[in-house]
Structure 1
């Protein structure tokens, strides 16, 4: 009773196949979620780069507009 029977293993295998099986709806949703997380991380990196740039610096385009 304490050990998992063959029926428990069968149910676990079916659930795993449904969740992570090939071309399933859930596997594509997980792929989309991974893309969203990756895009979020890239966006955070861009924000860090913008914070590293000193405030009040004049870029070449701003310099040309002032002349």
Structure 2
């Protein structure tokens, strides 16, 4: 009773294809592939600025304004309930 045989998996695949249709399954596959590609590109872009900062830290220092808050810093605020 342990694992399923190849025939069980083929029947499950046939039922899934009948329920969802081949066009929807193809669209899901292409959407998933696009998402993976976008994720990989995002990871490459995230690595590139970090490497640039490591190579030239002295050149970036004079451009920073010490009076302004650095970008990316969160500001804590207190939420208030809206009066109707």
What's the TM-score, normalizing by structure 2? 0.43
* CA-atom RMSD in angstroms: 3.8
Paired residue total: 54
Runs of 4+ in 1 over 3 A off after TM superposition: none
Aligned residue for 2:42? 43
**Larger relative contact order (C-alpha < 8 A, sep ≥ 6)?**
1
> How far is the alpha carbon of 1:13 from its aligned partner?
5.9
What's the TM-score, normalizing by structure 1? 0.52
Gaps of 5+ in 2: 64-84
Aligned residue for 1:28? 27
Determine the C-alpha separation between the residues in 1 that align with 2:51 and 2:9. Answer: 53
Gaps of 5+ in 1: 63-67
